[in-house]
């Protein structure tokens, strides 16, 4: 019997920092707009304004974001339609957002019967999806919302890069960010709350580059509501604001340091007070992942854990720095914002956190793209000819690398006709799961979960405590009726006998006798 596993959780590098780069005296928007009328009395209707915006390049980021939104949604929604979900997370978040939509406390039965999700991760920001879920209930709403959030981050990245590097290079950096492996991996991983963090970080760092200190802090602060560890990322953004603002605006620097302190305290309170108060065990469950014995037998606490899985961690570090920035981002202090995520990932002994898979690197991608923008702007004004030349051509090279890598990433699936067909496996899953009545209490493993949470109360199989479900929904082509019913009897020894209600192509539905 082959059992599908639940996934783990979270990434990054260390960086050097040069002195802050000078900000251009004016934005491209201040320059005359080519091809648009500028003389007094020129047309000023909506069409004329749209034409001027087009020629000035102000529509480029939004058009690019719209293209990526459609692509991201296609990747995740077609995967769901093909019944190829790889984790229970989409089901967990649907249960949580469904609770918010009903104006109830957010719970996820997949984590345990009536489990308050704020006792697992502190992500109240997901309540913002609830109104949309109320109108369009189902997992597709979550996937489309995630696609829109990731695509929204393309706007500040492209806009900032165009401001500092010019329209063509700005578009190259924006497109490279949209195609970046970290974003594609996250899109391919069903749904996760970090989708909210990606645009917040992007808008905050755009504001840093434009020396809009107050705006940068305002964009960073909501990260405290996205996930508990992101309070440290918000503090890092505030520290970068203080570093950049210090020589020019000491008051802004002091304000930023105060915000950094608030973020650190907020993060500490969330980890030690807020989450434990919702958790039945009175603690933060993920402390156990720091310094525990891993697959390679690490030890010695968090510091010793740094050396566990060193080869894979180094590989991930190179993936983070080389194809996305050509190492030039090491010249930007913005890269300091990546350190909190890199830190907690690499001191953990959970191998999920070290790799380039899953969603853990998505929050690093806007940091890398805007650090690259900052570094290229610095490099193009360098006194060293080799650095000027390297910086001049790097945006196009990074885009070329992103395009080349995408042939082996989820975006490549969009070029295949079979991606858009549900296929025979999905059809079999639909037929078998139809045996489970609406409103039933059902225990399930990974594949059926996100196709049942909208209409049933779903538990992780074997994870419903003393509650014995009436139905089991399961996917495993290696089972027989005898082996699966015996497995169910071992999981629920206090329960009734189980009989096969439906089965096809590895999908199984078992019914408790008498239900």
In this predicted structure, the answer to whether residue 2 has a pLDDT above a threshold of 70 is: no
| More confident site: 231 or 12 | 231
Residue 383's pLDDT is: 86
In this predicted structure, the answer to whether residue 18 has a pLDDT above a threshold of 50 is: no
The CB density around residue 32, as the number of other CB atoms within 10 Å, is 9
Residue 19's pLDDT is: 42
The CB density around residue 344, as the number of other CB atoms within 10 Å, is 21
Across 455-475, average pLDDT: 95
Could you give the CA distance from residue 437 to residue 456 in angstroms, rounded to a whole number?
A: 8
Q: How far is CA 7 from CA 28, 89, 360, in A?
A: 46, 8, 12
Please check whether residue 7 is in contact with residue 89, taking contact to mean a CB–CB distance below 8 angstroms. Answer: yes
**Which of the four pLDDT bands, split at 50, 70 and 90, describes residue 51?**
low
Residue 93 structure tokens: 């978040």
Note the pTM of the prediction, 2 decimals: 0.88
**Which of the four pLDDT bands, split at 50, 70 and 90, describes residue 13?**
very low
Please check whether residue 180 is in contact with residue 402, taking contact to mean a CB–CB distance below 8 angstroms. Answer: yes
Report the percentage of the chain scoring pLDDT > 70.
86
Residue 153's pLDDT is: 98
**Which of the four pLDDT bands, split at 50, 70 and 90, describes residue 307?**
confident
**Interhelix angle for 60-81 vs 154-165, to 10°?**
150
The CB density around residue 227, as the number of other CB atoms within 10 Å, is 22
439: left (phi over 0), alpha (psi -120 to 50) or beta: left
DSSP assignment, residue 231? H
In this predicted structure, the answer to whether residue 306 has a pLDDT above a threshold of 80 is: no
**Which of the four pLDDT bands, split at 50, 70 and 90, describes residue 156?**
very high
In this predicted structure, the answer to whether residue 166 has a pLDDT above a threshold of 50 is: yes
In this predicted structure, the answer to whether residue 15 has a pLDDT above a threshold of 80 is: no
Look at strands 471-475 and 441-444 and give their pairing: parallel
Across 490-515, average pLDDT: 91
196 phi, psi to nearest 5 deg: -75, -30
In this predicted structure, the answer to whether residue 101 has a pLDDT above a threshold of 80 is: yes
In this predicted structure, the answer to whether residue 501 has a pLDDT above a threshold of 50 is: yes
């Amino acid at each position: 019997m082959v059992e599908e596993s639940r996934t783990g959780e979270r990434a990054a590098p260390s960086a050097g920092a040069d002195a802050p780069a000078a900000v251009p005296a004016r934005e491209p928007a201040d320059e005359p707009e080519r091809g648009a009328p500028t003389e007094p009395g020129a047309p000023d209707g909506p069409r004329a304004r749209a034409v001027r915006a087009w020629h000035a390049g102000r529509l480029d980021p939004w058009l690019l974001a719209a293209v990526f939104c459609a692509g991201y949604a296609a990747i995740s929604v077609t995967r769901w339609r093909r019944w190829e979900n790889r984790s229970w997370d989409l089901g967990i978040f649907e249960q949580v957002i469904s609770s918010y939509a009903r104006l109830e406390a957010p719970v996820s039965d997949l984590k345990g019967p009536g489990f308050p999700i704020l006792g697992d991760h502190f992500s109240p920001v997901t309540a913002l999806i609830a109104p949309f879920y109320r109108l369009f209930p189902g997992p597709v709403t979550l996937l489309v919302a995630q696609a829109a959030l990731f695509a929204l981050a393309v706007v500040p990245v492209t806009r900032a890069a165009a401001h500092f590097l010019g329209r063509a290079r700005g578009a190259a950096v924006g497109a490279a960010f949209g195609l970046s492996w970290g974003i594609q991996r996250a899109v391919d991983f069903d749904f996760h709350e970090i989708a909210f963090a990606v645009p917040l970080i992007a808008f905050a760092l755009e504001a840093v580059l434009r020396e809009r200190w107050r705006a940068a802090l305002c964009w960073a602060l909501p990260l405290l509501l996205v996930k508990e560890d992101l309070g440290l990322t918000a503090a890092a953004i505030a520290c970068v604001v203080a570093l950049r603002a210090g020589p020019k605006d000491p008051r802004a620097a002091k304000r930023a340091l105060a915000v950094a302190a608030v973020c650190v305290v907020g993060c500490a309170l969330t980890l030690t007070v807020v989450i434990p108060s919702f958790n039945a065990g009175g603690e933060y469950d993920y402390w156990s992942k720091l310094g525990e014995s891993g697959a390679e037998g690490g030890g010695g606490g968090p510091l010793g854990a740094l050396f566990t899985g060193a080869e894979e961690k180094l590989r991930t570090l190179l993936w983070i720095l080389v194809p996305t920035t050509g190492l030039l981002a090491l010249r930007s202090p913005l890269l300091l914002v990546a350190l909190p995520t890199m830190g907690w990932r690499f001191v953990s002994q959970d191998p999920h956190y070290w790799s380039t898979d899953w969603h853990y690197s998505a929050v690093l991608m806007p940091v890398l793209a805007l650090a690259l923008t900052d570094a290229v702007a610095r490099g193009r004004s360098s006194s060293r000819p080799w650095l000027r030349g390297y910086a001049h051509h790097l945006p196009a090279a990074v885009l070329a690398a992103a395009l080349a890598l995408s042939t082996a990433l989820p975006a490549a699936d969009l070029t295949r006709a079979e991606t858009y067909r549900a296929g025979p496996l999905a059809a079999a899953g639909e037929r078998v799961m139809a045996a489970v009545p609406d409103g039933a209490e059902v225990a399930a493993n990974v594949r059926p979960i996100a196709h049942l949470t909208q209409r049933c109360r779903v538990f992780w199989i074997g994870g419903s405590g003393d509650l014995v479900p009436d139905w089991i929904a399961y996917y495993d082509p290696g089972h027989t009726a005898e082996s699966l019913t015996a497995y169910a009897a071992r999981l629920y020894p206090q329960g009734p006998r189980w009989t096969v209600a439906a089965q096809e192509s590895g999908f199984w539905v078992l019914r408790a006798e008498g239900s």
